[in-house]
Structure 1
Amino acid sequence: MGIVNFLIFLLTLFISNVVHARPVSYPGGHTFMSKSNASYDSLYYHYSPTFKYSVGIESVIDKRINKKYAYARSTRLINRMNTKSSQRNFYAQGGISSNGFGHYFYGIHGDWETRRLFSGFGIKKTVVDDSQNDFERFVLLGIAPYLGGYGDLHSWLMVKSMRNSAMDNWKSYPVLRFFKGSFLVEAGYGQNTKWDAHLMYRF
């Protein structure tokens, strides 16, 4: 590992106590994710050759169409701005399904946060075939009830509002996020959306 990559690695370790759950890791970093919500369950692994993009594979159980498939997918960091107390990120993502080139997704998402406050959004279009598509978007706002130090357990109290093509309007529900070191756990629940859970391990 060269000195530049080593410095980026150290910076990433420090930032991981301020910003987390990133879809792109430090150069050479690996990430496992698991997600479950009313629409799908998925297992996702990605590798980041540089801090600007990641490539990976995602296994999906799609509850909406009762099918299983996999995505070859990638995420690209479009823009990042750091200040002494905050960081802002914008990403583009896309993937092609194992069912063929006619089944794919693309989208953008971003976030801004300090050690105390968090805001994020996402927009994703999934094309299954000519007759069945999904347009999903969300907004996520959060506050840290306390400021932990390096290596501590960090907590976020959050509210998520989301809507997809199966919903008549936006649905909002509370979310709890906890992370310590390389582990992150996030869970939310709404009467209409049911459970929305996310696990992540980075190494």
Structure 2
Amino acid sequence: MSRIFLLFWMSIAAFGLPACNRSTDARPPLPEEIAAVVKPFYAAVRRGDQKAAEKYVAPGFIDDSRVQFAEMSRILKDAPRLAPAIQQRQGSGAYLTFAGQHGKMWIISEVRVVRYRNKPMIEYWDVTTADKAPELVTHTQDMKRYTIYALMTVAFAALAGLASLIWVVRNRTHIIAPESAIETRRVAATVRNTEP
């Protein structure tokens, strides 16, 4: 019975853990403070409303933003909704990479959010198209997959260790002192008479 029980748990470790770790949306959630700036900014860029978008851009970057606004707005209008793929904290701000696949093309947008007069504003943004996913996105997916395999290996090794420990405990008397067998050889017994 205990062997079946251990075999059951080993199979759970081998197949159950990876199944539990498959999430449909593995993208990082945006902090509320950053989302309050980035989401309305992207909505304004999609609509082509430059004046509304400039409310969220830091004053030092507004001129550069105006140069690229029309082209970036056109790319985002045709693209599906982008979701945050990578989030890197930089001091009090953040560097976000949004990615989405549209047919065979990837639409990638990068945004750097910084604190300007104690409120978050966009210091830099860019939208590009590419034939393949950004490298950081593929590396992140690979790391998640390897982490799943590592957890599966650790769980399997722990269960194998538990199985061997149970086996040792159940058979410890045989390991410490093997069962004694009756000796079958003949022994000659001599008695000495010590009396004179």
TM-score bin, normalised by smaller chain: under 0.3
Question: TM-score if structure 1 supplies the norm length?
Answer: 0.27
Q: Which has the higher contact order (CA 8 A, sep 6+)?
A: 2
Question: TM-score if structure 2 supplies the norm length?
Answer: 0.27
Greater strand share, structure number = 1
Greater helix share, structure number = 2
Bigger Cα Rg:
2
